[in-house]
Structure 1
């Protein structure tokens, strides 16, 4: 294999990337630059720097990207009401383009000729990281150790770590038996018993949300304010994008909102089963659709719903930086100019209910929709011609069938 002079590694400090750091140094005889992203995963990052330093890493980047993540990736996606395969709120998928972007920036800034990541050769993340990198740096060389080495089990990784003196931090209580990915939007769980789609996960799998059965016995009312399609305040308290989402996560977690058990279709062709917790995102989606119901023209709303599955697939499959996703985003963002106002929601035992919405840009006209006297605002006789014209093809077809 060709040698690399300098490699930028997406580094979490966990077992996989700690082994990868040493493996890259030995296999490629290269200097390694590490990059760790804080995107709201809530993990302690203090140990990352000394672990990298132990293996001679001189350039160590630990970046707080929480606000950028929510502002420039999560919120634009929620303007589209994106759901993959009708259920998944794309919590893992949406984090990858930001990590790829910053990894490429650091690689170019520090004079690296290659980047590396810890995604396996079976999953979606390898696709997302690498498509993002190629879109932003066409000449970049990508090193994916999971597609090269023979360390294809946890036991082999642990043996390698012990042989090379790589410290592996053991989590309190022995850690989780699942492969987990967390950020400001969600936590995902895969592996372990979840590999049997008939197996019911125990309640202790969940980290963000209370069991709905144990949630408060009384519903809680929450009001969310929107400005051009983005949530800007919760219960009258304005905040940054991350602060707003964090508050919604707390409320959703308290009421057991946002749990999902899903068998999904990976881009590489494998079906996988995972559990997801997205408390704030579940509330946000409900609220955003509620405010859009007031403010969007019918055809705007229907067009968005037709385009949404395509948009969601682009995010899921790693095409955030593609021209087609950017084009869709421009259209979606154009629909959000008048999506302003407030939505009132009721949170109760795992569910989110609409409890009111209002907007200065509302298209709702009570004089048109009322069952009472509309004072001539709508001439009901107009509906006769409308129906006859729209029924013309149906009548024509029925006459043919009668012949």
Structure 2
């Protein structure tokens, strides 16, 4: 009998405490007869997590098998900030809020599996989405022999009614708003919230306003702009308005500014890794501000060659994060190059926030490469001899002139 065919004795479940993962918990107990360990991560989703403990206890989970952890600082410091050093945007617009949370959840599941002697892990991602890929690629990268259970691919339930019936049969509490079909699905953490499905599936229909949960509409934002400063050190934000803050506090504070000023709404159709297109509504208020600020401080501290190379690498980096290859050698290689580029990315950026817009109005740095002496149209005191430009242009034009002569002869 191989390790993959042995009966599963203990499984670590990524558990939110909601109806779906509670159904999964009971299904695991009945299907595998296995001991279940629940893991609930606080990534800043804005929900009270202690009810998850009470619900797990009610469903027969031993107290020592219930893990509820505040991972907000680790999430921002070790996952969000490294990604923002790359200015990562998937398909030019998506700030990867859901994607970047999955490797951290997966890592802790594997660590808990090792600590508790579990031989399997379980997630609640569906068989049509990207998250199943992200979770499982991370699991395998960290623990190659781990057993993985994906209930949405395995169980026999065919409809929401089947799930509700199972919950009723097993005395799993069902909130009133969970008995009908949810108008859309939501994923949230400190970086963003995303909404997909149901009322949002037609990409030609404007989303109803009740979909937006983290931002006021730009039309309803204040008529007076909000001005803030963000301080950077080695590519990471370290202060707001001159006050040093921890990574998670910085992102939470920027979220407040973004929410009040209607910043960070994105309506997009993206290409999922599994092959289909999907329409999503994303709100990334603090992340949008941070992205603009980081680009601004890089503009005066990064050399042209380094900046342009970073911009070439970024789409590949963003694709790796989106697809779920956070723990791959190629992502780590790119990260090393990106982090090297950030050694002198420090200083302060001033921004004006106004009705959905992030407007950079100032940037300064002790490591600035910007030289007013070189760029001025006035007397540059001999710092730049404009006559040198003629030879520069002729050398760069040599191949163009050669091509032009050939084409004229032809």
TM-score of the two chains, using structure 2 as the length reference: 0.96
1:397 aligns with: 403
2:120 aligns with: 114
Q: 1:258 aligns with which of 253, 256, 264?
A: 264
Shift of 1:155: 2.0
Shift of 1:152: 3.5
* Structure 1 Cα separation of the partners of residues 342 and 153 of structure 2: 42
Shift of 1:204: 1.7
1:355 aligns with: 361
1:64 aligns with: 70
Contact kept? 1:3, 1:29, Cα under 8 Å: no
Q: 1:305 aligns with which of 311, 319, 336?
A: 311
1:295 aligns with: 301
Q: How many residues align?
A: 403
Deviations 1:290-329 (A, max 9, x none): 0000000000000000000000000000000000000100
Please, what is the CA RMSD of the aligned residues?
1.4
Q: 1:5 aligns with which of 4, 9, 14?
A: 9
2:378 aligns with: 372
Deviations 1:197-232 (A, max 9, x none): 111111121111011001000111110000110001
Moved beyond 3 Å, runs of 4+: 169-172
CA distance 1:159–1:268, change in 2 (3 Å): same
Shift of 1:236: 1.1
* Structure 2 Cα separation of the partners of residues 323 and 19 of structure 1: 36
* Structure 2 Cα separation of the partners of residues 254 and 177 of structure 1: 25
1:29 aligns with: 33
Contact kept? 1:368, 1:374, Cα under 8 Å: yes
The answer to whether structure 1 residue 14 and structure 2 residue 18 are counterparts is yes
Deviations 1:315-354 (A, max 9, x none): 0000000000001000000010100000000100000011
Q: 2:321 aligns with which of 311, 315, 320?
A: 315
The answer to whether structure 1 residue 221 and structure 2 residue 216 are counterparts is no
The answer to whether structure 1 residue 55 and structure 2 residue 56 are counterparts is no
* Structure 2 Cα separation of the partners of residues 155 and 338 of structure 1: 57
The answer to whether structure 1 residue 206 and structure 2 residue 212 are counterparts is yes
Contact kept? 2:77, 2:247, Cα under 8 Å: yes
2:129 aligns with: 123
* Structure 1 Cα separation of the partners of residues 344 and 208 of structure 2: 44
TM-score of the two chains, using structure 1 as the length reference: 0.98
The answer to whether structure 1 residue 278 and structure 2 residue 305 are counterparts is no
* Structure 2 Cα separation of the partners of residues 123 and 168 of structure 1: 25
Deviations 1:237-280 (A, max 9, x none): 11100000000000000000000001000000011001000000
* Structure 2 Cα separation of the partners of residues 32 and 205 of structure 1: 34
Shift of 1:21: 0.4
Contact kept? 1:185, 1:245, Cα under 8 Å: yes
1:341 aligns with: 347
Contact kept? 1:291, 1:358, Cα under 8 Å: yes
* Structure 1 Cα separation of the partners of residues 236 and 319 of structure 2: 22
* Structure 1 Cα separation of the partners of residues 310 and 160 of structure 2: 44
2:141 aligns with: 135
Contact kept? 1:223, 1:234, Cα under 8 Å: yes
* Structure 1 Cα separation of the partners of residues 66 and 9 of structure 2: 17
* Structure 1 Cα separation of the partners of residues 6 and 152 of structure 2: 17
